[in-house]
A and B are shown apart, each in its own frame.
Chain A
């Protein structure tokens, strides 16, 4: 028994030590960090290669990507451009937060760590596991201050201290209904502009079977989701949360929810919506569209390269494009725009080289370095055409295709333009991306919580609540809509913590004005 206890305490000990040591870790490092600091400042940005000897190897903990970070060309480029040798370790693809927690709690030696999840980042900050970057950025980060806006940095600030480098995401409309325009022609219809016209088109798809699919004809298919972009917009619903009369309201309490679900239920009942949609896997839904059986498919533009080739092989004269915003019964319409931070990168308190970590980030955000890191060299990986960056295939995709995984902080003024180069890989994707992202501003509705700071209740419950809402709505679409059904959804949502989240979200929202 006593031995067991001894073992147990021996294993708990490091946890405690990690916390205690965290306090003194900074002191230990001060000596050599100061030395390397002066060396790096001396050599300056132009002749960084010369300083390599003095610079330590930095250990980075990265988010999962399919390619090997250490063998990817961007890593070589970064080592040459910044003079630091970089050792990238990788979090697993599944449940990365679990492992990140274990690593952080047991005393990590990493110099820079990425969190894809705001909740993790703020959790670490609150538990004192992170280095305060404010003085370091002040001293070593002129490029950081120039590239990253104050608003973005505020998103990684706790109690007035900057604990992380936020990497902004591109904000865009992500998905919409793809429609087979050759089917439209065959049934003699125009591109629908209202819900009624849309239903009319679906009926024509069903009755006239323009694809010649017989009993396998599907007017419209979707993955098992209930809140469908564009269609929900026609009812003034733009996602899980939206502003109504100055307050943030969850979709479950949206006054038009019942009408919306009734509408989708109607499509399902009339056989206009895939009878099997609830059991579709992403692959089965893709399959229905690419084999030419479905006329309308809800999809993100980024998935288009995945099935464009297949559709063209199966149906050589197939044409398709996104449907513009459809007007609903009250004249409402619109898309939902997503955005926010892609990740937040931080320096653990137990890091060995905090100053160098910030110097690395600073060097990466030097405008030309950032550009070359992100899209490579003109003439080698890209060319300029009409002010757009055009990728050179395959050099661009081999050398810079995964570049955004390497970025730590964005050159916020320029990165969207650079980023679009990768969309040019596939023309249908680029065209459709343009199509949904160039509709009038008033038709595009930004997710009001995209840039919200860490809201503990929201973070803890948002996945659960969105699963609950989606599940209940799918059940209603399949089994029928009723006031009591909506009522029980609202109750279940409330019981699952929805009310608390609503309060938290609104307190924050009110404080923003």
Chain B
């Protein structure tokens, strides 16, 4: 695709990093994605300082203001007990991003390690790891996560555990494919001839070559973890009230459709906004670093 759209003609004499950053800056969609991700992360970190009403994040009740449509005071309206939806959305981003960090923080290193080992050692190690990964990939993720959280009792930590258990497989597969492709490269052979240890070849030679692919995958993953977590709580098996969660808000809000549409639609669009950001950023990074997933 890139040969048709991205003629890097004026870039002679630039380093590869300068070229990559040039390509990123020339891509308006990637910039929009970066901006969206920045705004979501910023809002989540500084939530208590930014939101119009911090008490709305908890089990706060203000019946006089319930079901208020979007207005200057409540840009996204209020919900069925009078809490400011914008405030809850921003605190909801906190929960969502916490989920992303928790899931990817465990699943990515684990998946990458297994992929490295399977690709590098080959033979029986490879067969066992990759067959196991194939079987794990055949599990329907949402059904599996639902079942796990239901049996463990639904809350943030268990949702995190359930998603993590299913997520590492994609990274194993990705890294395995990259390492398999790199094994015949001269630099691996050279390191081996020079007497480097397995650990050295794995982590100092092969791993750095996987970084860009993993970075792109993480950015794309982040959006999908948010979606996944929201889906779980939409079905009532994720984060429980009064913790503000975007999926739960859509579910409760949908009971007041169609007249009080904002209660479901506003949180719904907020999820969309975050996922859109991570996707655009991920696509931009992919074009920039020229990796194939």
A and B pair up: no
Residues on B lying within 8 angstroms of A by beta carbon are none
